[in-house]
Amino acid sequence: MHAESSPLGAYNLSPQEIYGLFLLGLMHGGLALWVYNDIKLRQRSMFWVVGTFLAPEAFFPFYFWNQRPELTWTCPQCNRQNQAGSRQCGQCNRFYTSEETIERLRGHFEPSDPVVISLVALLVQELIRYMAIWFVEGPDMRPEGLETYVLSAPHFWLVKLITGNVLVWLCLYCITARYRRPIAAVGLRYNGSLRSLGLPLLLAPALALISVSIRQGFQWFNRLIPSDGLTALIQWEQEQLSMGMPEGLGDGSMILLGFVGVVLLPVAEEILFRGIAHIAFAERFGRTKGILISSLFFAVLHGSFRHFTPLPLGGMALFLMGLVLAWLFLRTRSLIPCMLTHSLINLILFVKWFGKG
C-alpha cells in the first residue's frame, strides 16, 4: 500500500515556504476571528468575516474604519468625560454650546487602528509596485514573476517614497481627523532635553551591532555545528531580505535612499509603531503588555513589510529594537529621539548593505 503524497509536497514547497504559508493563513484567520468577535457585538453580516479571511487588506480596514469612533469631551470645570452629543456635564451639570463640545471632542485609539493603517499601506505599496513593473516591462510582463521581480534602484525607492508618504498621511489622519487629537498627544514634540537627543547616538550603534551580530552569530554557530535546517533558514532569510532590493545605487538613487530610508520611513514607522500602536495597546491592555505587543507588532511587520512573514532570526533583533524604542518613548515622552535612533540604525545598516561589495 503506497503512501499518498501531501498536497504541499506536490508543489515541492520548502519548509520555509510552508512556514510562510502557515503564517499567512494564521494572519488571515486571526484577522477574520477579530472581525467575527466584533460583529457578534454589533450584529453585522458574516460577509465581513469571509471577506476578511480572503482579502484582509481590503475588508479589515473598511470594516473598522467605516465605523464612527466613540468620541468624548472633557468638562473644563470638573474634568469629567462626557459622551459626544451631550451638552450637559454628567457631574457638575453645567451646560455648554454645541460648538464648545465639538471643539473638545477627543477619541482613544483602538488596537485595530495600527493594523488598518499597516494593511492599507501594504495594499498601496503592492499596487504602486505593480504599476512600476508595468511601466518598466510594458504589456509583456508576466504575472508569475511579479513576486520576485527586482525593480531598478530609482523605481524601487520611488515606490518606497510613495508608500512612506501614504503611511504618514494615514497616521496623521487617524490622529487628527478620526480621533481629533493633537499630534503632541502621540509624542510629536520636543521636550527640550539635550539628554533625549544624546541617547540616540548611544543606542543606534548598539542596536545596529546587535542586529548584525545575531545573524552572524547564527552563521558562526552553523559553521561550528553544521545543520542543514539552520543553513536553509539562514539562506531563506537572506533571500527574503534581498527580495526586490536593488543591489546597486546611482547618483539619483542615493538621494532617494537618503531621504526615504533615513528620513521618511523612520518618521512614518515611529508615528505608527510608537505613536499609535504602543498607545493603543497600552490603553487597552496596560503598560507592560502594550510595550510587548507593540514591539512584537513592529517585529512582524517591519521584518517583512511586503509579505507579513516575520523572519525568525532577524525578528529577534527587531523585537529587541522595538522594546528599546518603546522604552525610549516612555522615558522621553517624545517621538523625536525614537525617530533619530531609527534613522541612525537605518543609516548604519544601509552603509553596510550597499558597501558590502
> Are the C-beta atoms of 44 and 62 separated by less than 8 Å?
no
C-alpha cell, 338: 525614537
Q: Could you report the per-residue pLDDT of 109-141, keeping only the tens digit for each?
A: 999 999 999 999 989 988 998 888 888 777 666
Per-residue pLDDT for 21 more than 90? no
DSSP class of residue 103 equals H
Mean pLDDT across the chain, nearest whole number? 83
Q: Percentage of the chain with pLDDT > 90?
A: 38
Q: Percentage of the chain with pLDDT > 70?
A: 83
Which ranges in the chain belong to alpha helices (H)? 15-42, 47-54, 56-65, 98-103, 112-137, 153-172, 194-224, 228-242, 251-259, 265-270, 279-285, 287-303, 312-332, 336-354
pLDDT at residue 138 in the model: 74
> What gap in Å lies between CA 300 and CA 25, rounded to an integer?
15
- Give the range among 30-39, 115-124, 281-290, 312-321 with minimum mean pLDDT: 312-321
Q: CA geometry: angle at 167 spanning 102 and 333, to 5°?
A: 65
> What are the backbone dihedrals phi and psi of residue 70, each rounded to the nearest 5 degrees, phi first?
-80, 115
CA-only gyration radius of the chain, Å: 23
pLDDT at residue 304 in the model: 54
Q: Could you report the per-residue pLDDT of 184-236, keeping only the tens digit for each?
A: 999 998 877 777 788 899 999 999 888 888 877 877 777 777 777 777 777 76
* Long-range pairs of 56-60 with CB within 8 A, sequence gap ≥ 24: 56/27, 56/28, 56/31, 56/32, 56/119, 57/119, 57/120, 57/122, 57/123, 58/123, 59/35, 60/31, 60/34, 60/35, 60/112, 60/115, 60/116, 60/119
Q: Could you report the per-residue pLDDT of 141-192, keeping only the tens digit for each?
A: 666 666 667 777 778 888 889 999 999 999 999 999 999 999 999 999 887 7
> What are the backbone dihedrals phi and psi of residue 141, each rounded to the nearest 5 degrees, phi first?
-65, 145
pLDDT at residue 81 in the model: 86
Mean pLDDT of 329-345: 93
- Is 152 exposed, middle or buried, given 0-12, 13-18 or 19+ CB atoms closer than 10 A? middle
pLDDT at residue 165 in the model: 95
C-alpha cell, 253: 538613487
Mean pLDDT of 58-80: 90
> What gap in Å lies between CA 275 and CA 271, rounded to an integer?
4
- Which DSSP string corresponds to 37-85? HHHHHHT--THHHHHHHH-HHHHHHHHHHTSPP-EEEE-TTT--EEETT
* Long-range pairs of 295-303 with CB within 8 A, sequence gap ≥ 24: 295/319, 295/322, 295/323, 295/326, 296/322, 297/114, 297/273, 297/322, 298/269, 298/273, 298/322, 298/325, 301/118, 302/269, 302/273
> 37 pLDDT band (50/70/90 cuts)?
very high
pLDDT at residue 3 in the model: 44
> What gap in Å lies between CA 89 and CA 81, rounded to an integer?
8
C-alpha cell, 324: 528599546
pLDDT at residue 246 in the model: 62
> What gap in Å lies between CA 342 and CA 346, rounded to an integer?
6
More confident residue, 288 or 258: 288
C-alpha cell, 179: 480621533
pLDDT at residue 2 in the model: 44
> What gap in Å lies between CA 163 and CA 169, rounded to an integer?
10
pLDDT at residue 119 in the model: 92
Q: Could you report the per-residue pLDDT of 240-287, keeping only the tens digit for each?
A: 666 556 666 665 667 788 898 899 999 999 999 999 999 999 999 999
The identity of residue 347, as a single letter, is L
pTM above 0.85, yes or no: yes
Helix (H, G, I), strand (E, B) or coil at 106: strand
